[in-house]
């Protein structure tokens, strides 16, 4: 693959040769001259990048030593088409931490157009990027490419020996990260990624940016606003992280919310028992799920999907109602027809990834951002308590998804205090039944930032803007196009609300015809965005 030319972004340091110095200091007021970015055709076959151009920019590994070692950040751009109404750059982040966002230049352009808002890609240069350590950025962090290979030990430890096996696995992963990338790990804080965004801004010759963040991308955006409040023109944060839980407590709150949402899914399946034949009540469908999970624990489905892989497959339905129908289809095909390939194909195509980068970065960023318990008894006590209380679906899987942090080579923190004093008001969007970033995070972010909060009432889908709900999408587009915001209401509650779309109706359901004639359900599309949801 042809390597892209690189430019260097450092804090006010002149460089010899063709590289151009660009400022990333918080005090600069003048609009910088654009750097000589060597844009080129994007590599690969991602359809969202078909009309985009890509490049790399160099940034300091350590912003405290801007003349030291450099790393590079991959960026992409879909240029505006309406010079008369040009409004600058719109930079997107899909979440994670660890999510590749390079595709978002074309992704956001496509989603806005699909929502009937061609004016946004016409007026903005839309910028995607892979945060430091992620994807096409260099280096890309990876610790053990085979860590997540199936079939893994059961997430739920049935004995002290089972738990010890996962602890050994998690500790080895942390040690592998330290051995391969110990020099990089301390510089993967969210504050580092936010400073990289400012380096991108500067390299593009922009005085301010507009920013669109989903899930963890909301925390990254709030961090940018805290560090560089005067450099924000617009900020949209969808599916807001609760700053009070960064990061250990956040996973505990997710455990409760995902238990609720997976039960929503089981109840939906029961509603359409005439299609799926898995039980007429939520409890019966849930029982069917745990029956095949227990069976998978004795013999992996298709030799590939054990209990962990099954949990990961069904977790999609906890993130989004758009996954209800495809997940229920494979559930039913296995239980009623014994079709193991339905589940293994779904797992291979939509869940499993042999790329260790996302998992490595997820742990690395959270480990660096904040302090975590170092005594394993705290982790065990909290998980065992939640599991006993009935939060059994996601509790232990979340433990092991985060467990390498308990053995990280350094203690993270201190956590940044979010407070973007003087920033232009942000537009926050939060679904009331979001499981990955539970609703209180939206009100807490509203409290911390100058902002307006839009609540999607009854919304079960994580980070749900540009996903078919016109009420939400129109508010986002109006804010970007005309600076329009909902009227500010007292307190930290919502300033405006939108009703969630009805749950989908499966093909073949008897209710489908009547829904069509009565103006009933609209089936949300399966999300085009990767869902990096913890958080």
- Residue 36: the pLDDT is 82
| Separation of alpha carbons 148 and 245, rounded Å | 26
pLDDT of 82 strictly over 60: yes
Distance (Å) of CA 505 to CA 180, 255, 424, 502, 515: 48, 27, 41, 9, 8
How large is the average pLDDT for residues 401-418?
Answer: 98
- 299: Cβ–Cβ under 8 A, 6 or more apart, which residues? none
Q: Is the pLDDT of residue 290 over 90?
A: yes
Q: What percent of the chain has pLDDT over 90?
A: 87
**518 has pLDDT over 80:** no
The SS3 call for residue 144 is coil
Q: What is the percentage of the chain residues whose pLDDT exceeds 70? A: 89
In 39-176 the beta strands, taken as DSSP E runs, fall at 40-41, 53-60, 70-78, 89-93, 125-130
Quote the mean pLDDT of the chain: 91
Query: What is the rounded CA–CA span in Å between residue 391 and residue 281?
Result: 19
* CB 214 within 8 Å of CB 333: no
pLDDT at 347 over 80: yes
Cis peptide before 97 (omega within 30 of 0): yes
For the segment 255-267, the average pLDDT, to the nearest whole number, is 98
- Closest by CA to 533, choosing from 150, 326, 238, is 238
Band of pLDDT at residue 509, cut at 50, 70 and 90: confident
- 145: Cα separation from own chain's centroid: 21
Structure confidence at residue 508 as a pLDDT band (50, 70, 90)? confident
Residue 218 CB neighbours (<10 A): 34
For the cut 50, the answer to whether the pLDDT of residue 523 exceeds it is no
Q: Which residues are identified as catalytic?
A: 215, 434, 462
- Expressed in angstroms, the distance from the first to the final Cα of the chain is 33
| CB neighbourhood size of 411 (10 A) | 12
pLDDT of residue 532: 41
Confidence of residue 521 (pLDDT cuts 50, 70, 90): very low
Residue 354: per-residue pLDDT: 87
Q: Does residue 475 register a pLDDT over 50? A: yes
Closest by alpha carbon to 201, among 176, 171, 224, 180?
224
The number of C-alpha atoms within 13 Å of 121 and in the hemisphere containing its C-beta is: 21
pLDDT of residue 26 exceeding 50, the answer is no
Average of pLDDT values for 214-229?
98
What is the rounded average pLDDT of the residues 293-322? 97
Q: What's the pLDDT score for residue 513? A: 41
């Amino acid at each position: 693959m042809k390597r892209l030319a690189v430019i260097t972004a450092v804090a006010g340091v002149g460089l010899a040769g063709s590289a151009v110095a660009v400022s990333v200091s918080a005090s600069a007021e003048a609009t910088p001259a654009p750097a000589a970015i060597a844009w080129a055709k994007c590599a690969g076959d991602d359809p969202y990048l078909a009309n985009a151009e890509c490049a790399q920019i160099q940034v300091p590994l350590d912003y405290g030593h801007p003349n030291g070692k450099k790393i590079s950040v991959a960026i992409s751009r879909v240029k505006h088409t309406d010079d008369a109404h040009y409004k600058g750059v719109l930079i997107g982040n899909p979440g994670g931490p660890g999510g590749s966002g390079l595709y978002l230049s074309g992704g956001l352009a496509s989603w806005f157009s699909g929502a009937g808002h061609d004016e946004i890609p016409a007026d903005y240069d839309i910028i995607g990027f892979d945060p430091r350590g992620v994807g096409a950025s260099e280096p890309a962090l990876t610790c053990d490419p085979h860590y997540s290979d199936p079939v893994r030990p059961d997430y739920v430890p049935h004995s002290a020996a089972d738990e010890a096996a996962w602890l050994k696995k998690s500790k080895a992963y942390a040690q592998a990260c330290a051995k391969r990338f110990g020099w990089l790990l301390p510089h993967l804080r969210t504050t580092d990624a936010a400073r990289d965004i400012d380096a991108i801004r500067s390299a593009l010759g922009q005085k301010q940016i507009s920013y669109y963040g989903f899930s963890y991308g909301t925390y990254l955006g709030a961090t940018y606003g805290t560090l560089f409040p005067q450099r924000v023109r617009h900020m949209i944060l969808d599916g807001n992280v609760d700053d009070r839980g960064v990061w250990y407590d956040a996973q505990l709150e997710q455990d409760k919310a995902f238990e609720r949402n997976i039960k929503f899914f089981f109840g939906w399946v029961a509603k359409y028992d005439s299609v799926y034949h898995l039980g007429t009540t939520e409890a019966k469908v849930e029982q069917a799920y745990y029956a095949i999970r227990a069976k998978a624990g004795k013999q992996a489905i298709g030799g590939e999907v054990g209990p962990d892989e099954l949990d990961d497959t069904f977790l999609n339905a906890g993130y989004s109602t758009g996954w209800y129908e495809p997940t229920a289809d494979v559930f039913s095909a296995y239980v009623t027809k014994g079709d193991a390939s339905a589940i293994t194909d779904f797992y291979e195509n939509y869940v499993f990834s042999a790329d260790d980068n996302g998992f490595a970065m997820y742990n690395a960023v959270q480990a660096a951002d904040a302090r975590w318990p170092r005594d394993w008894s705290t982790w065990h006590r909290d998980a065992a308590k939640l599991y006993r209380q009935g939060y059994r679906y996601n509790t232990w899987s979340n433990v092991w998804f985060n467990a390498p942090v308990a053995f990280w080579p350094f203690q993270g923190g201190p956590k940044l205090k979010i407070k973007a004093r003087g920033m232009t008001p942000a537009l926050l969007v939060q679904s009331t039944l979001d499981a990955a970033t539970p609703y209180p995070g939206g009100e807490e972010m509203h409290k911390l930032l100058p902002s307006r909060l839009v609540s999607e009432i009854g919304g079960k889908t994580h980070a749900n803007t540009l996903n078919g709900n016109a009420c939400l999408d129109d508010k986002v587009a109006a804010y970007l196009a005309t600076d329009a915001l909902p009227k500010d209401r007292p307190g930290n509650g919502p300033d405006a609300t939108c009703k969630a779309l009805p749950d989908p109706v499966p093909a073949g359901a008897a209710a489908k015809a009547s829904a069509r004639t009565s103006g009933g359900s609209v089936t949300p599309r399966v999300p085009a965005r990767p869902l990096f949801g913890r958080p």
